[in-house]
A and B are shown apart, each in its own frame.
Chain A
Amino acid sequence: MTEIEIVSVRNYALKNVNLKFKDKEFSIVLGPSGAGKTTLLKVIAGVVKYKGHVYFNGKCVDNVFPGERKVGYVPQSLALFNHMTVWDNVAFGLKVRGISEKIVYEKVSYTLKLMDIYHLRNKYPLKLSGGERQRVAIARALAIEPKILLLDEPFSNLHVSLKLELLSKIISISKEKGLNVIIATHNLDYTEMLNERTVVLNDGKVVYDGMFKDLLLRKEILNILPIVSLHVDSIEPLVNGLSLAKVGNLKIIVPWEREDNNVRAIIIPSDKIVLSNIPQRIQANTYPALVRDIHMVNSWVNLSLEIKDVYLEIKIPYSSIKDLKNIKKGVIVYIKFPIRHIRVI
């Protein structure tokens, strides 16, 4: 119901950003830490200062108070009101708008049931689990019946299954209500499953704007993101839920059970890759690799590896490397791609 247009927006974190989010669009904003993802959401919500213009349905909202923009905002910290019960958290946005108690009661009950947290209505946020708190924050944003839902790293610190459950809930709600949803994240655990419109920000600039699958063809963009992408030559079913993907002479076990000729690549979040110079016990997806080049940038290590005939350029965090000081050019290391973190595109 709302088309968002961002024109020449700039501030302390954004540098001349121009973007257009179509009506009822589900979009992902990707980028490394400090890229400006959170600030972009805050610009749309109207809670930070900026130069340039933001339009909702062609109408400039630069001077519209955040509470009047009809935007539901869920920050990374969730920012729940710890002194209020779940019910009061969700009712807050309705009460401050002067809505009658009867309607507040109906809307809050409906929203709590929608997010499956009605039974928690009398509890305080600090007494809830991470997943429950996440649902409360989303329910609070939905209660005001927003046209746009902004989610900043909404599933960080949640278990993978819980992430996917909440994600599918948000997708179904957004489709039902015709919401514009924008998710800012650096987490690729679920991003590829959406295969939606993806905007990549780096250093405050938009460096990619398109579908997620096409992003995999843009090596220069992938280098910005904490992601390793491997081109798949073929894929064949192995056992229940698992397949064998061929990447050159490399055979990688992947969580995939469909027969699909359209498989293009497998991706793995960089921080999930394990690298060690100590020979590993025989483990799935662990390969010896020759280090062709290594250099460090901030808290990251850039590596050129040769695994069988596959040449791999990866950027992984220090924390993923065991015994870093002994990993040098020309040595053999062991690289592991944990199956549960692999995604097939």
Chain B
Amino acid sequence: MFISGHGSVKVLERTVSYILIVLAVCLWELISRSGIVSIALFPPPSTVFFKLYLMVASGVLLQEYFTTLYRVLVGFLSGAILGMVFGVLIAYSRIASRTLYPIIAMFSVMPTLALVPLLIIWIGLNDMLAITAVFLCSFIPLAYNTVSGTRHIDPEVIDVAKTLGASRLELLAKILLPQALPSIFSALKLEAAMAWKTCFVTEFIALSSGLGRLMIEALNTLSVDEMIALLLILALSSYGFVRFFEELEKSFLAKWGYRV
């Protein structure tokens, strides 16, 4: 292949990565079929994909998938939006900074899943449990990163905006929040995958619906092909979610001239 420019290099890289994936799947199939390991413990991809087809055809998978998707979207988006608002407020208000920032900083180092047992007692075993776990998983990092992002804004940007006549609200909405976007997007990308994991594990531990519940059922019946199929769906969903925010980041920051 003749490589003429940057675009061609990208196509080549992508083609190589697809070939590697196909090779890995072939190797997996070969090892499973060779009898080196038990086919029941390490089913070949053909069996996994067939199982996936059966799960989709029966309608069970889609129903549970949409339940998990709903929890992830509601929890993540509400957490992210509120996290950003809180972050800007903390960065801008000295009182909020002194009172709320230490709490946010403390919770930012705590894994959200550690809070799930407590949430079970406070909220009960329902949709809100998973939504709250996902909410916390996005809210705290987003608030923390927004504070960091706004604190790194050149103070002279704020001075200039004031001399131009910006009110406090205009300063927050039109200057601070957009200028903090590089930090915000870093958090969004990191936490997007974490939201799926948190929801999956919360369902797995405590709920009777969603992909996590299917995982527990598969474990109970020792259906390894179903477990691998579920993990594939989880990985693809997380990846898709992260890619969505990467593209969103590119559409904003690359346009502004930031290196993305």
Contact = CB atoms under 8 A, between A and B. Distances in A.
Interface of A: 42, 45-47, 65-69, 71-77, 79, 81-83, 92-93, 96-97, 124-127, 140-141, 144
Contact of A81 (B159, B162, B175, B252): B175
A42 B257 contact: no
A67 B179 contact: no
Given A66-B159, A79-B159, 7 more contacts: A67-B164, A67-B165, A73-B159, A73-B160, A75-B160, A93-B165, A141-B163
Contact of B164 (A77, A82, A93): A93
18 contacts: A42-B159, A66-B163, A77-B154, A81-B161, A81-B175, A82-B256, A82-B257, A83-B179, A83-B256, A92-B166, A96-B164, A96-B166, A96-B167, A96-B170, A97-B165, A125-B257, A126-B258, A127-B257
Contacts of B175: 81
A45 B178 CA distance: 24
Contact of B179 (A65, A75, A76, A81): A81
B181 interface: yes
Helix, strand, loop or mixed for chain B's interface?
A: helix
Interface string B166-207: 110010001100110100000000000000000000000000
Interface string B225-260: 000000000000000000000000000100111100
A71 B159 CA distance: 12
Given A79-B157, A83-B178, A73 B163 contact: yes
A144 B252 CA distance: 28
A124 B253 CA distance: 11
A128 to B, nearest CB: 9
Given A82-B179, A124-B256, A126-B257, A47 B159 contact: yes
B156 to A, nearest CB: 4
Contacts of B160: 73-75, 79, 140
Contacts of B257: 82, 124-127
Interface residues of B, number: 23
Given A68-B165, A81-B179, A83-B181, A75 B159 contact: yes
Contacts of B161: 81, 92
A334 to B, nearest CB: 42
A81 B166 CA distance: 13
A92 B256 CA distance: 17
A66 B156 contact: no
A178 B174 CA distance: 32
A46 B157 CA distance: 14
Contacts of A42: 159
Contacts of A66: 159, 162-163, 165
Contact of A140 (B164, B167, B255): B164
B157 to A, nearest CB: 4
Given A81-B175, A124-B255, A47 B162 contact: yes
B53 to A, nearest CB: 46
A279 B160 CA distance: 50
A169 B30 CA distance: 75
A77 B155 CA distance: 10
A68 B111 CA distance: 48
Contacts of A47: 159, 162-163
Contacts of B159: 42, 45, 47, 66, 73, 75, 79
A67 B165 CA distance: 4
A96 B165 contact: yes
Given A47-B159, A79-B159, A81-B175, A126 B164 contact: no
Contacts of A45: 159, 163
